[in-house]
Amino acid sequence: MRPDRRRVVITGLGAVTPLGNCVADFWSNVVRGTSGVNPITLFDASKMPTRFAAEVRDFDPASLIGKKDARKMDRFAQFAFVAAEQAVKDSGLQIDDANREAIGVVMGSGIGGIATIEHQHKIMVEQGPDRLSPFLIPMLISNIAPGLISMHFNVRGPTLTTVSACASSNNAIGDAFRTVQYGEADVMICGGSEAPITPLAVGGFCAMRALSSDNEDPQHASRPFDRKRDGFVIGEGGGALVLEELESAQRRGARVYAEIIGYGKSSDAYHMVTPDPQARGVKLAMVRALCDADVAAADIGYINAHATSTDLGDAAETQAVHSVFGEHAKSVPVSSNKSMFGHALGAAGALEGICTVLTLHHGVIPPTINYANADPLCDLDCVPNVARKDDVEVAMSNSFGFGGHNAVLVFRKFSQN
């Protein structure tokens, strides 16, 4: 840690996911290796090439947010709002006039309010523009999620949105980390949310042939690193973390889950959606994160992989791990949570960040489920099918997005030293 930078710890977590709508349920199902993938119920997908997804179930926004306020929020914003409320409560943070200007919000979303766009467009076509909701624009814009969170808690620190496709919430966490590290805030509520299980979004990904089409066996369709992987499974949800300057957390006797120590970002500068086969940008982000954390590759005891279950993406990430980690690549555990709760796009990094933090906190590495067929292009220890007890000290979490956006975080088990 450089002497001019403040230490930043995680003191609160919140999650709304296909595996449970609180952190305890989510983590329990992740450790069990539960699949959250099922046939789509949010719309009639019978004519879609892919008819399954990882949906958030049993989510009642009216009871959690209030009927009036929930009606003014797109589903992605509801997820962000509820996850943030959980995280702040979990942190034990008391917000008042003494600290509200030193608390900010950064939330990522790759798509934002696409359900609102689809619904309101249908109203305009069928009933005319005078029937559009006055909340159309506020509901669809991605930055409304952190805006609503800041209003709810009445906090006036830095508040913004990161939009970098599937790297969005890793960028949100990383930018929040920097904000606290450099003293622009003492506390940041951060993470990401996404609600892309809509006809237009699913149809668009189907048109790209990006999604798995294993409609006969959806719970085994997300199979990162497996030789028979055939595309990702779309998911949804929201995750939030409370990042806090260490001395602030210590003064109030807060429970600390882990410490965030590194952030690296880069661009592939290669293609709109296809990863660079040489993984140059991915390598650069990983190296920058290690350098920022001031740790060696050999110090990393676990990598929470981006691995989406796509042919090219998983192979490119494997190549990057070998390039950066050298001989250590053969022994470091590298697992993909997306095997269980699909790819939540802009929320993926937040949900996976929570899993990485809890790996350090509890000493358990989540599995990559559905792994059955070894692929020589993905020759890593992917923690196949069963969670593993391991007292990990330092862990890395990777997120890579369409457009070539790469964001990598490094976390460490908390120690007073």
3-state secondary structure (DSSP) of residue 160: strand
CA distances for 84 relative to 30, 40, 62, 66, 107, angstroms: 20, 26, 16, 16, 10
Residue 416: per-residue pLDDT: 83
The stretch 69-80 carries a mean pLDDT of 98
Query: pLDDT tens digits for 326-345?
Result: 999 999 999 999 999 999 99
**Distance between CA 54 and CA 197 in Å, rounded?**
9
Q: Is the pLDDT of residue 91 over 90?
A: yes
Token representation of residue 98? 């003494």
The domain locations on the chain are 8-251, 263-412
Give strand ranges (E) for 176-313: 187-194, 237-245, 258-267, 302-304
3.40.50.300, 3.30.420.10, 3.40.50.620, 3.40.47.10: CATH of 263-412: 3.40.47.10
What is the residue whose two structure tokens read 């500068």? Answer: 269
Residue 11: per-residue pLDDT: 98
Per the DSSP assignment, residues forming a β-bridge with 189 are 105, 242
Which range is least confidently modeled, 169-173, 239-243, 274-278, 300-304?
A: 274-278
**Distance between CA 365 and CA 261 in Å, rounded?**
19
CB 307 within 8 A of CB 279: no
The stretch 246-250 carries a mean pLDDT of 97
pLDDT band at 4 (very low <50, low <70, confident <90, very high): confident
- pLDDT averaged over the chain? 97
Residue 2: per-residue pLDDT: 58
pLDDT band at 116 (very low <50, low <70, confident <90, very high): very high
Identity of residue 51: R
**Distance between CA 244 and CA 252 in Å, rounded?**
11
- In the sheet that holds 103-108, the strands lie side by side as 159-162, 103-108, 187-194, 237-245, 8-16, 258-267, 405-412, 394-401, 302-304, 334-335
**Secondary-structure percent of the chain, ordered helix, strand, coil, rounded to 5:** 40, 20, 40
Question: Kind and range of the H or E element at 323?
Answer: helix 311-325
Residues recognised as catalytic: 166, 306, 343
pLDDT-above-70 percentage for the chain: 99
Query: pLDDT tens digits for 41-54?
Result: 999 999 999 999 99
Strands 103-108 and 52-53, bridge-based pairing: unpaired
Same fold, 8-251 and 263-412: yes
What is the residue whose two structure tokens read 């952030």? Answer: 263
Residue 3: per-residue pLDDT: 57
**Distance between CA 263 and CA 234 in Å, rounded?**
26
pTM to 2 decimals?
Answer: 0.97
Residue 417: per-residue pLDDT: 74
3.30.360.10, 3.10.20.90, 3.40.47.10, 3.40.50.620: CATH of 8-251: 3.40.47.10
